[in-house]
Structures are given as C-alpha cells and as structure tokens.
Structure 1
Amino acid sequence: MRFTPLALEGVVLVAMDSHRDARGHFARSFCEEEFAAAGLPERWPQMNVSVNAKAGTLRGMHFQRPPFEEPKVVRCVRGAILDVVIDLRPASATFRAHLAVPLDAESGDALYVPPGFAHGFQALIDDSEVLYMMGARFEPGAQDGVRWDDPAFGISWPLPVSAISPRDAAYSDFAG
C-alpha cells in the first residue's frame, strides 16, 4: 500500500498495490503493520456499507461530537463517488477548509479521514457502493452534521442532488 498525505493535515490517500494477471488482480486493502508504520490507527471495530441507487445521491456531512470522534477509511468498491471532508478542528490551521477526492472501484484508492472532520460523498454513478472502516463504534447520541450546501464551506458538488435524507437536508448552517 502507498500512503499519500493530502492538503488537510491528517487526511491520507491510501492506494493499493495491485498485482494483475490473466485472472484479474489481487491487492491488500488493509494491513495492521502498514497502517501503524504510516501513523494511522490499526484498530477498526466497525465496518459499514452504503449502496446508492442513483447518481447524484448525497450522504453527509456527518461527524460524531467529542468525545466520540471517529476516524474512517472510506473506499468505493463499486461505481464512483466524490468523497468530501471538512476540517472541523478549531485549533487546526485548516479549520473549515474542505477537500474533495474522487474515489472509484477501478482504482481501489481509499481515503483516511481523521477524527474531527465532517465526512460525506456524492455518488457519481448509479449503484455506487461505499465501504467504511470505522475507528470507533457509532454513538447515536453523539451523531451530528453540517449542511451539505452551507456557504461557509463552499463545496462544489458535481451533480444535482437526486436523493438526500431528510436529516442530512435539515442540518443547519455551521456556527463554529
């Protein structure tokens, strides 16, 4: 695996080294020792999957409030998405900045999202599937989010929103 730090401190692109032959390809998607050597968590107590029927589906922007912040590794295993993170760490030099990273099943790349970030994505292709490794268990009372189109962040989504949950659509403007 290759670990490439991105523009927001702590966010890392995790690329697999694929071995291809006549059968297809094989790649390691997680290795405890390699993650540790890259300074990333090695413990992932929960794994989630999301299937998104229509291109334009938007999920996010989610986070868990302290002390239940959660790191994530997000990988698109079918189709393609635009994955977006927002730095919500008040002491960070990039506080309120966002980063958009295209992820698709063909590349197999994943995005490591550190604690203290809001996370969401938009499906770019029908039937896109996203696999999340979660570094903390979900804590229902700590779930929160910011509005996907809040002008404080200026995120440019590539497609019109075709589907969004009522909860995600109802988040208020960021007050921080």
Structure 2
Amino acid sequence: MKALIISDSHGWEKELQIILDRHRNDMDILIHCGDSELDSDHPAIEGVKVVKGNCDFGDDFPNERTENVNGVSIYVTHGHLYNVKMTNVPLSYRAEEKQAQIACFGHSHVATAFLENGVIYINPGSIRLPRNRVERTYCICEHHETEATVTFYEYNGDVVSDMIYHYQLK
C-alpha cells in the first residue's frame, strides 16, 4: 500500500495540485489531513480523501475518516479535536478505537512520524507554513506486511534526507 499524505495547505491551490499530480498515478490513496481551505468540489483535491480542519468552514468534509487500502486500516483526522499540539494521547486512544494501523493528522504543522503500540502516526507537516523546520513538507507511506517506510519530501519533490523512517511491524 502506498499513500501520499499532505496537510495544512491553507488555500494553496496550484501548489497542492502540483504535488498531487506529481504522485497521483503512483499512489493507492491520496490523503489531505485538513486545513485545505478549499471546497470539496475544487479540482485541486479531486480524488483526495480530505478531512475538515479548524480553518475549513462549512460541512464539505468529515471531521475524521477511516480508509481500508489493500488491507491496511488508515485513520485520518486534522488533530485539533484531539489536542495534538499538546499531547498525542487522545489521538492514540481514537486510533486504537478505530483499529488503525496508520493514523494521519495535521494541525501542528510539525512534520513527524513515529510508531507507538503498533500504530504508525504520521503528521506530514505543512506545505505552506511549516513549524520546527524550514522545509515545506508532505510524505509518502509505503506499508507492507512486515515493514513500513515513511519518507518526507520538500514541496519541490526532493527527499528530506533526515526524515526517512523505517518500521518493522508485527
């Protein structure tokens, strides 16, 4: 299973479209973790699984979603409803309730990936307003039965060399 995960594009249409088009044909799923600030029928997010962020108004997107892709359960939320800027505990409880193998979130604009209790947590950072790093990031997660890799990319498609994470799965 191969997933592109992006978040917090905050109204950037052309830039978002460029990234998605760069990878669209190589992915099993495209995920946006909220704060796109776009309408659900916007062409830039066509075919993308999007959740509602705290800067998305209206009822265009759900607050959360669970997707099953090639046998991998992916939970997606923006994170503001789970206080992710302070702690990952509420998010981890929700991911466990949803029986997720991967939990994707945004909100903090801080790019990170980590494994906890058998769940891979991924925050792709922000392509518009990154925090804690200068790179405007998104990521790709490749999940196989016994291993997974999360690779972060800069807006221009270059790999962020110190942000490649390999996980052995049970």
Q: Same fold (TM over 0.5)?
A: no
What TM-score do the two structures reach when normalised by structure 2? 0.30
Q: Per chain length, whose mean CA-contact separation is higher, i.e. which structure has more relative contact order (CA < 8 Å, sep 6+)?
A: 1
Greater Rg over alpha carbons, structure:
1
What TM-score do the two structures reach when normalised by structure 1? 0.29
Higher helix share: 2
